[in-house]
Chain A
Amino acid sequence: MERREFVKKVGLTAAGSAAFPYILPSGRLFAKTNAELADHVIYVLFAGGVRQQESVLQQYLSGSQGVDIGGNIMYNMFNGTAPDKKIVYGTTPANEPTGSLPIPKLLTNTLQSQGLLFPEVEAVNGGHYGGLNSLLTGSRSLAQGLKVRPNSPTIFEYLRRHRGFKASDVWFVGSGIGNSFPLLNSSNHEMYGTEYGANFVAPSITFGNEGLDVLSNAKVYHPDEELEPIQKMREFLNNSFRIKNGEVQGIRNGEDEKENIKKFIREMFTKKQTGGLAGPPAGSGGDLRTLAYAAEVMKYFKPKITVVNLANVDGCHSNFSGYLRALHRADHGVGWLWDYIQKEIPEMAGKTIMLATPECGRNLNPNPIQDENDWYGYDHSGDANTRRVWSLMAGPNVPSNMVVGSESNQIGLTTDNVLTVADIFGIKDAVLNAGFVNPGSKSLFDRI
């Protein structure tokens, strides 16, 4: 072979190798590495800052207020008996003390008994945004600023890029638009970014009074006579402007996906007006509303992954009794969501893995703020207790009734969850090879 020909062939091969991963129609950069463990994932960011003492350790008041009453107020998720004295964590019947009626247990078998519990996991970040970042990116998020997208790719981007999921396959249902939540649907990483981001919705606003005012009167255009001309004219205008999709803020769905999502929005307003929305029996406000709309998203789109973010327990800063009620309600909502998937969404029943983890814990010692019961509030300012959380997983291919680790034997990191979800969808090696995950993280399946 002549030198010139050799150089030419080597050059072409190198160029081809470099370009090939980017021109795959699926957008996949690496080949799938192993078999999928489930068709769908529901990932609950059990957020707001949850102390181990009132959740997995089931100490109720004994681990916080110096009152010797323990018990389990999350009895849909964890095994254990509920407290029988000083009940403030329930709902409030008319003319009865606040929170005096516990919400009846929904699941016959707890999620713990159906699945795998890591009772003592290290939270790598003690703040809300940093903690949520870690749960979604698998990185420590140490240099992460507020009001900017995550620095490292999120699980949504990994799944869309390496697994080829379309935008409407990946959803992030947020508890609101504060705390930069809307920015968590994708990173600003140049190799990933909004092009691979998730559909984000904050139902309390999109389908709340503001959405009702701004969106609910939208016109339904005839698909051939009106919609198609609009799309053709817009396509011409966009081609003239020649701007890349990714440069427009936020993610973009395909035209068919867009029309389907618009139909979903209309359906939500109709259901809201006719009282046809799904929802947990104990109420429809706050986290329970977010979970209810997450159920509607899942029923309508059957997404590959749905991430839902809770937040109400953060009231613990100033209202410990309210925090107990929020924990109890969140447990009820998560139990209901699991039950709803199994009973009302046949396409996902028995094919969905649920994963739930708080983004951070809370301090060991209280702040001076007392609530209506003279109980003290707790912040999350970064002590060792703030770095203690749990992870719970249930569904196909997840061992049942298994506990890994204990209070004296911490096993797992919050950054494990991204690799766990990647493992479920068969792209764990691709995510590891991308090189952005916190060193030392593992799939929870590999921690057993």
Chain B
Amino acid sequence: MQIFKNKYILGLAVAFISLASCKKDVIATYDVNDVDIEDKSLIKDRSKSNKQFISILYTTLHQKAISSNQLIRTERVIESFGDKALINEVIVSNYMNSGNVVMPTNDEMRADLDTFITDTYKLFFVRIPTEIEKAFFVNYIEANPNITPELVYTAFASADEYQFY
């Protein structure tokens, strides 16, 4: 009888512990919203193909789609050269010299640098800049009167991040 009682008590204890351990953890927020520490938009680990790169670049700079004939010709030229970064820079520079690139004027850029930098990041990298990035460009452009939107666009179009998505 005594043995039965002990088993009964042991069973109750196990059941109690099991139920107690299934209790959900309470996540304390202390009235502060969750914020991701890591910027997910910075994680771009897939390289654009030559075709993707050139069609996106053309659309970014001209605000219209590239013709299929021009796309194929440009793609073949990229394939014909080993240093892709170098040849992409030459292609960007070629576009800049065409006079058909859609971009703000120097005055428009300098009138509102914050907006220009944010818009440029969105246009090329499809994300908003971090505060550090924004601060760097605002300071750099303010300190260098020679910098034009064309130079900024050229730097963005030839940056590593623009080759990835």
A and B form one complex = yes
User: Which A positions have Cβ atoms within 8 angstroms of B?
Assistant: 167, 172, 174, 177, 182, 185, 197-202, 204-206, 210-211, 213-219, 221, 225-226, 229-234, 236-238, 240-241, 243, 247-253, 258, 261-262, 265
A122 to B73 CA separation, bound complex (whole angstroms): 39
A439 to B89 CA separation, bound complex (whole angstroms): 43
Q: Looking at the complex, which one of B79, B85, B89, B155 makes contact with A233 (CB distance below 8 Å)?
A: B155
Name the residue on A nearest B124 (C-beta).
A237
Count the A-B residue pairs with Cβ separation under 8 angstroms: how many? 140
Residues of A within 8 A of B84 (CB): 248-250
User: Which B positions have Cβ atoms within 8 angstroms of A?
Assistant: 42, 44, 47, 73-74, 76-77, 79-87, 89-91, 93-94, 96-98, 130, 133, 136-137, 140, 144, 146-147, 151-152, 154-156, 158-161, 163-164
Name the residue on A nearest B133 (C-beta).
A240
B73 to chain A, nearest CB (A): 5
In the complex the two chains form, is B140's CB within 8 Å of A215's CB? no
A448 to B154 CA separation, bound complex (whole angstroms): 55
Residues of B within 8 A of A202 (CB): 79-81
A230 to chain B, nearest CB (A): 5
A240 to B147 CA separation, bound complex (whole angstroms): 20
7 contacts between A and B (CB under 8 A): A215-B90, A218-B94, A231-B155, A233-B140, A240-B161, A241-B159, A261-B83
A253 to B82 CA separation, bound complex (whole angstroms): 10
Which of A172, A243, A249 is the most central at the interface, judged by chain B CB atoms within 10 Å of its CB? A249
Residues of B within 8 A of A252 (CB): 83, 85-86
A199 to B74 CA separation, bound complex (whole angstroms): 19
In the complex the two chains form, is A215's CB within 8 Å of B160's CB? no
What are the 6 closest A-B residue pairs judged by CB atoms, nearest first?
A: A200-B82, A233-B155, A205-B80, A237-B159, A202-B80, A250-B84
Asked whether A250 and B80 contact (CB < 8 A) given A225-B146, A233-B155, A237-B159, the answer is no
In the complex the two chains form, is A218's CB within 8 Å of B79's CB? no
In the complex the two chains form, is A182's CB within 8 Å of B79's CB? yes
In the complex the two chains form, is B155's CB within 8 Å of A237's CB? yes
A297 to chain B, nearest CB (A): 12
Given contacts A217-B97, A237-B156, A258-B89, 13 further A-B contacts (CB under 8 A): A174-B80, A185-B82, A199-B82, A210-B73, A211-B80, A214-B91, A215-B77, A219-B96, A240-B130, A240-B161, A243-B161, A250-B83, A252-B83
A221 to B130 CA separation, bound complex (whole angstroms): 29
In the complex the two chains form, is A226's CB within 8 Å of B90's CB? no
